[in-house]
Amino acid sequence: MTSPVTYQCQDGIGVITIDNPPVNALGQAVRQGLMDAVVQGNGDPEAQVLVLVARGRTFIAGADIREFGKPPQAPILPEVIACLESSTKPIVAVLHGTALGGGLEVALGCQLRVALPDTQLGLPEVKLGLLPGAGGTQRLPRLTGIEAALDLITSGRFASAGEALELGIVDAVLEHDSPLEAGLAAARDVIDGRQTPRITGELPPPAAAPEAIECIRARLEAEVPDLFSPFRCVDAIAASSEGSLAEGLRRERELFLECMDSPQRAGLIHAFFAARAPHKVPDAGEAPAVTRIALLGEHHLFPLLKAKADRAGFELSDRPDDDTQACLVAPGADTACPAHCLRIALLSPSEAEDLDATGSAMALIVPDHQGMAELVTLSADPDQQQAVANTLKALRQGIVVSRRGSLLAALDKAVRDDRPNPNAAMDAASLMLASRGWAYRDSDIDLLAIEALDYPRHLGGPHRQATLGGHAL
């Protein structure tokens, strides 16, 4: 089997290339390939500097989701990063697209980091109930200081290449046509003495910042008191200033394993997978998006769709014509939808409690505060529903597909009928909905509850809770 990581020498520069489409995820073969390539590069007498690049649209976008929930396979990521950091020859990491989670931790293990201007960097593990478990909480503060590391890691937000340069995460932002060109240029700067590589783990520990630590704890207590991992992130970052790198890494590992054992981690992972393809209609073919739509009447959704239409290559009009493929009809619209068009009724959750198939191929259920919407097929076939779902997704509208009746309307009614106990009401409603067969996937019920009705994400959704026995986490 061909390794997704290769090595070759170009004019005294050893090039390590990751090619693991679509996002160069850090699966076992990539981890092993990285270690093998570093050994090969260090043993190459012609190579003075090593460059780490990735093919495709992104650097390393994080862990391989196919390994989630499975026993770890050697080498684990901390071992890979230790190998990078101990390289006898400096390694230049070239970031482009995204460098997220373990991908950024890999870059932190290299001796120099450069980025293309469009790069986004981040450690978003907290959003999955985890913390960066391969040295991110220890190496990042050595570059940015405690306060900036707290901000990035506890929020899980992305930083631009420019911000990363200001914070010291990357050493340069380079305008080049490709990551390889940027990497070769940076390597020549190292060879010629214009750039000085440094080992992140050997930098001095960051200065203690007790006020920043207490401030972030107070903010988390106010904003997310029920969450587990953000507070462990704070503890791990605080440890970066209290001793050696090895001591900090041990503490990070302890806290990482605590997060792994937390039920919240399982709930957040469930929500993550639920959000991966909720617009997909089972049994639908490769349906092309509907590109010509008439928006009939007045609705708060229409300006948002129009704002995205030109960039997506769609034509949204106020009146249908012979080329119109579908009509999105707001309540009370006084313009008729021609017979050759798909008619999609636009409804609020309360208006969708008793859907009538007469006259409409589909219904689009949109909460008053926007958020995730639901596309229910009434008389449309799977390919037609998929075509409209593809359009809405391209227009940046979060969408869940369903059939015959509205999941969102039923969940919303359950909340309105039992306002003191909305989560319990949705738990009960979710079992009823699953039995009716309106959902293509039970996880779609969970996703709508989380994204449209504020069900706690860390619980994973009402159907998950109901089938677990409803135990709070």
Q: Which residues contact 278 (CB under 8 A, 6 or more apart)?
A: 399, 400, 401, 441, 443, 444, 447
What's the full length of the chain, in residues? 473
Q: Name which of 251, 98, 116 is nearest 182 in CA terms.
A: 116
Strand bridging mode 120-122 / 112-115: unpaired
Encode burial over 146-165: b for 16+ CB neighbours within 10 A, e otherwise: bbbbbebbbbbebbebeebb
Buried b / exposed e over 28-37, threshold 16 CB at 10 Å, is bbbbbbbbbb
The residues, ordered by sequence, that sit 6+ positions from 411 with a Cβ below 8 Å of its Cβ are: 349, 426, 429, 430, 433, 445, 448, 449, 452, 453, 462
CA 64/CA 415 separation, integer angstroms: 37
Residue whose token pair is 């008793």: 354
Spell out the long-range contacts of 232-236 with Cβ–Cβ below 8 A and sequence spacing 24 or more.
Answer: 232/131, 232/256, 232/258, 232/259, 233/126, 233/131, 233/132, 233/137, 233/150, 233/153, 233/154, 234/150, 234/154, 236/131, 236/132, 236/137, 236/138
- Tell me the two tokens of residue 239: 């440890």
Tell me, yes or no, if 125 is annotated catalytic: yes
Q: Cα(381)–Cα(42) distance, rounded to whole angstroms?
A: 59
Q: Which of 105, 252, 374, 451 is catalytic?
A: 105
* Locus of tokens 């914070």: 167
Determine which one of 46, 67, 79, 125 is catalytic: 125
Q: How far is it, in rounded angstroms, from Cα 14 to Cα 46?
A: 8
- Residue linked to tokens 């940027």: 182
Residues recognised as catalytic: 105, 125
